[in-house]
Chains A and B, each alone.
Chain A
Amino acid sequence: MSRLDVRKTYKLYIGGKFPRSESGRSYEVVSATGEFLANAAMGSRKDVRDAVVAARGALAGWSGTTAYNRGQVLYRVAEVLEGRRAQFALEVASSEGLSARAANAVVDAAIDRVVWYAGWTDKIAQVLGNLNPVAGPFFNVSAPEPTGVVGILAPQSSSLLGLVSVIAPVIASGNTAVVVTSASRPLPAVTLSEVLATSDVPGGVVNIITAQTAEVATWLAAHRDVNAIDLTGVAGADGVDWAALEAEAAGNLKRVHRPTLLDGVPVEPDWTADPGLTRIRAFVETKTVWHPKGL
């Protein structure tokens, strides 16, 4: 008799722990070909609010680490991802309906994307900051700082490469994140949370909620303790009105990273393209400090 495998319970990732949804709800996740894969936790408003509390709590510590340290932690994430390539390849293949070969290429690209951002952490201030030659006897310098707690609607389609491509630039500069995963392809995100939990990323820095995007996005966009929101995941999300989310975000003047628009309609970006600095720039604030010079 063949051995019966031990299945994983897919749960949320909040504050470094793996709770079920406080709502007790779950939903069926199926593969690209419609086969049952798992019951994922269906995150609720309360889960989102708990995640924001965790992200806020982790912000001082994470933004206070040195850029060098954040780079090493991100690199560690890539290392642990690499060690679990096979598992991710299987999940990506079943979620996205890819061949094994194509899924492997996606996992490779995702690992390399994390490495790319790991190398950015201690260059961001140099590239986005500078001295300002003011007309007077003053030392004057402008440098980027993390915006704070960032809400991320992760892409609906690209369940791993797209996911790391929206998380890594946010945490590279020292922000903390509350991520709402792809609604229909959430499993690689849950597995990524296990990677994060074992990569020296402090609990609360990244919080991952599997949920129906349309249900929880509004709570995230309206939350007064969230400083910025990435609306990438509205593209292809059922029943999501991104204009309404942006309008909610205006309540506390969140920085809004709009979805990519093609003829006015949100589309998922090409995740294989050079990411550039756009996503890093979107979630930093420029601080300018003046001090007199003199004897």
Chain B
Amino acid sequence: MKLINKRRRFLRDALALTGAVALGGCDKLSQTDWAPKVLGSATALSHAAQSALSRNAMAREYSEADISPVFRPNGSTDPQSSEYRVLAANGFADYRLGVGGLVAHPLALSLAELRALPNRTQITRHDCVEGWSVIGQWTGVQLSRVLDLAQPTKTARYVVFRCFDAMDDGSEYYESLGFDDAYHPQTLLAWELNGRTLPIPNGAPLRLRVPRQLGYKMAKYLRRIDLVASFKDIEGGAGGYWEDQGYQWYAGI
């Protein structure tokens, strides 16, 4: 009997200990350099699997009845830099979207020039990494058309978006896409939300739409677009402002 009691006590203690180590251990592991890297490796698997399964499939487009009454803005909602304030005060008449880096033809496009390109309007869902969703109607030019004008060189692999809005740490927001998403037909540079000029809280004068990824990929307040071979040397090196804070570069999940 004594042996059985001891064994039972051991099993019980082992179980309690395992639980405590598991929960406390997760916090400790999160603080190490290596564990987040191991955990992050699953994202590469998710990216590969989801790309193989969905390829160029289109994001669901909704009807006007589905549009959210308010398209909830998140992150920056009113950039304060003097450069941006001056542009906004003039209704963005002097705004130019720079397109450069590894391209044959660097561009500086005004809103009028962008609007003169073939437009696309789509009612798509916007999923925030926090978990909520809103639906809005977007009008803009397909990013692929702008890239076709600029003609990326053979070494270009990523499209980097630089923005006007300064974040808490003083750096400016930025994001990046691979070519599969950059050339997807629903990837837009949008200037209109729900049939009206894009409001400042939602990213005026121009923002990115990538409906098959989460909201933080869809950079607002676009300043310029750079084509690069690698984003390792840009800012924190992870390919975006939130990515530098530990969020996944692939945000399709």
Chain A complexes with chain B: no
Contact surface of A with B, Cβ cutoff 8 Å: none
Could you list which residues of chain B lie within 8 angstroms of chain A, going by C-beta atoms?
none
